[in-house]
Amino acid sequence: MILSLNTIMSATSVYSIDLPEYVSNFFKEIGGISLSAINQSRLLELCNQSTVKHLMVYETFVVDHTEILMNLLQQRCVESLTIYNHHPFKFTDALMDRLNTVAMTIDIKIIVNGYYEKNYSNIKIYHEQTYEHSISHSFVLLLSQILHKKRRPTKTFLIQTVCKDDFRKTVSDHLRASAIWSDCIAPPRIDRRSVYEDFFHEKKHKLLQQFGEHTQPMHALHSFGNGLPNFKMYEQAFCELILETMNSGSWHFTEKTFRPIALGIPVVHLGHKPMHARLLATGYRLYDNGFYQQWHTDVALEKKLPYLESFLTHIKNDKSAQAQMEQIAQHNYQHFWNHRKNHYYTNLQNMFDDIVGENTLTHKIYKQLDF
């Protein structure tokens, strides 16, 4: 199948629908794939004329036009489909099950920024750590080195989260009512994402006006998602409590996880068990005195919050624990900036080699450098 797909990629058009610019550039500049952008009407016209050899779509097309896409696949109007899924939790189990069934007879590939709750044996799935890579910008490394020189913790914990779901709200409410809160640094509480985004949009706008939009520093700051790092808080806090966007079902790591790691800050990571296991499997480390086994038990969140409070109290009072956390933070810092950065490019090369063989941009340029 790979050989025939490679031939298709090099000999015929690869059509795309509604790809965001960064995804289109991802395929063109890294994959070396020449895309022909079309709309839905044009796709239907092409399918009426002949089989579309290869189609690339973004997640929103799959969600918004599920039945149209399924009909085209079931009627074998599309021979091969590649989906870019930036938010894995936007694909329901029912949708993924349908895609998996169709993939018994149609070539379906998904490039996903994250992980699904279930396994899908008929779909070729490639995992891409978008946020981990985007934050590993050289300018962020320079910022981290300035932070290291200025860091003088006055509080043990930093917690910055938008309490827009029950998990984050429950954890935040408990900590705010606990004795540990007096040793925490936190920005003003924001329960609505729009308020959070408006604040940082204005902050970014001022930076862009002052330093220019198309500069390396501004590209680096865009890697922090909707927010920006507050270096004054990082100077004053010993470690950060991480509450990720999703803590059940399908999920992905975001800047919430990799921001403190990239800056060399110790962390307490409150993600669910699969997230914890994946973080350790990729070579990162977390300080643990038995807390995480308690945190990942299958009981109500409210019953586990005393374990969290006890763990944070232990960190606050135990200098040996703090020393170990600093050592682990340095390991994670080095791992992030060296091994994981290299792994990202190796993973990308292997992925595109699998999808398009030696028709990637890298292979094309390599062949030209023969004189």
pLDDT tens digits for range 307-346: 999 999 999 999 999 999 999 999 999 999 999 989 998 9
Sequence-distant (≥ 6) Cβ neighbours of residue 339 within 8 angstroms: 283
pLDDT at 193: 63
Sort residue 127 into left (φ over 0), alpha (ψ -120 to 50) or beta. beta
Mean of pLDDT values over 340-369: 88
Q: Out of 12-21, 67-76, 255-264, 267-276, which region has the weakest mean confidence (pLDDT)? A: 12-21
Whether 158 and 237 have beta carbons less than 8 Å apart is answered as yes
Statement: residue 12 has pLDDT above 60: no
Taking alpha carbons only, the member of 308, 265, 304 closest to residue 289 is 308
The string of pLDDT tens digits covering residues 146-192 is: 999 999 999 999 999 888 889 999 999 999 999 999 999 998 776 56
Q: Which two tokens stand for residue 323?
A: 């020393």
Q: pLDDT tens digit string along 94-141?
A: 999 999 999 999 999 999 999 999 999 999 999 999 999 999 999 999
pLDDT range class, residue 287, cuts 50, 70, 90: very high
Q: Write down the H helix ranges in the chain.
A: 2-11, 21-25, 40-49, 59-64, 66-74, 93-102, 130-135, 138-150, 166-176, 193-211, 216-222, 231-236, 255-263, 273-281, 291-295, 301-317, 319-334, 341-356, 361-368
Question: Per-residue pLDDT for 51 more than 60?
Answer: yes
Cα–Cα distance measured from residue 356 to residue 32, given in angstroms and rounded to the nearest whole number: 9
Strands of 80-85's sheet in order across: 35-37, 14-17, 55-58, 80-85, 107-112, 124-127
Buried (b) or exposed (e) across 204-237, using 16+ Cβ within 10 A? Answer: beebeeeeeeeeebbebbebbbebbbeeebbbbb
- Tokens 């009072």 — which residue? 317
Closest to 240 (Cα-Cα) out of 195, 286, 209: 286
Higher pLDDT, 154 or 226: 154
pLDDT in the model for residue 127:
94
Query: Residues 253, 114: contact at Cβ < 8 Å?
Result: yes
Domains of the chain: 2-128 (3.40.50), 133-341 (3.40.50)
Q: Average pLDDT of the chain?
A: 91
Confidence category of residue 11, pLDDT binned at 50, 70, 90: very low
State the DSSP code for 26.
I
